[in-house]
């Protein structure tokens, strides 16, 4: 009898996996700026979800829960990378990295501007403008209040406008991120 329940949970999880894997990989790519890490983070998040599948499937918003797991894993990855960069900087002089002849200048500019935002602002802007999530869904994914989403999104967009030198930053972010992120999700 336990096998029937396990089989039903397995089928349900597999359907969830198929439905949300590309989206989670795209979110991981946009949050970390590392296309190579997107698959790993999405897979790690889905593994964590599988281990807690009974709890996840009973949640009101399993996809929001999954986005939150990806956001937390991305945050941890970014913090680890920052610590590692600081260690390396003690021993090596930092060289300025420049992208020569970028394929799409707008994508490069927006991605660089996004990397300069603190994690929470970046996550709010990406979820609101690239994924078209509502303030409520963004709050659920990040485990913060709707008010925090509103203020962090507003501050993040203002910072992007300053960095990009444009008043059309939300539209530009939406268009450019959607294009660059979709390629990640499609290739997965």
pLDDT, tens digit, 9 for 90 and up, residues 77-119: 888 887 777 666 555 544 455 555 554 667 778 888 889 999 9
Q: How many residues does the chain have?
A: 188
Decide if 163 contacts 116 (C-beta within 8 A): yes
Q: Give 32-37's long-range contacts (Cβ < 8 A, gap of 24+).
A: 32/74, 32/77, 32/78, 33/111, 33/114, 33/115, 34/77, 35/184, 37/77
Residue 152 makes CB contacts below 8 A (sequence gap 6+) with 120, 121, 123, 124, 125, 144
Q: At what angle do helices 35-51 and 62-91 cross, to 10 degrees?
A: 130
> d(Cα 161, Cα 155) in Å, to the nearest integer?
10
- pLDDT bin (cut points 50, 70, 90) of residue 164 is confident
Q: Give the pLDDT confidence score for residue 178 in this predicted structure.
A: 54
d(CA 130, CA 146): 18
pTM: 0.56
Mean pLDDT across the chain: 80
């Amino acid at each position: 009898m336990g096998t029937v329940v396990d089989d039903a949970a397995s089928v349900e999880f597999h359907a969830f996996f198929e439905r949300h894997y590309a989206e989670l990989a795209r979110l991981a790519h946009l949050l970390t700026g590392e296309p190579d890490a997107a698959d790993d983070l999405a897979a790690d998040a889905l593994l964590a979800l599988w281990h807690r599948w009974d709890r996840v499937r009973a949640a009101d918003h399993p996809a929001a829960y999954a986005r939150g797991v990806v956001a937390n894993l991305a945050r941890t990855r970014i913090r680890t990378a920052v610590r590692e960069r600081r260690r390396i900087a003690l021993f090596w002089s930092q060289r300025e990295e420049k992208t020569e002849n970028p394929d799409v200048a707008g994508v490069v500019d927006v991605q660089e501007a996004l990397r300069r935002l603190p994690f929470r602002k970046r996550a709010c802007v990406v979820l609101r403008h690239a994924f078209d999530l509502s303030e409520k869904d963004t709050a659920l994914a990040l485990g913060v209040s709707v008010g925090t989403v509103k203020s962090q999104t507003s501050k993040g967009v203002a910072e992007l406008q300053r960095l990009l030198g444009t008043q059309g930053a939300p539209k530009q972010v939406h268009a450019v991120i959607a294009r660059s992120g979709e390629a990640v999700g499609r290739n997965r």
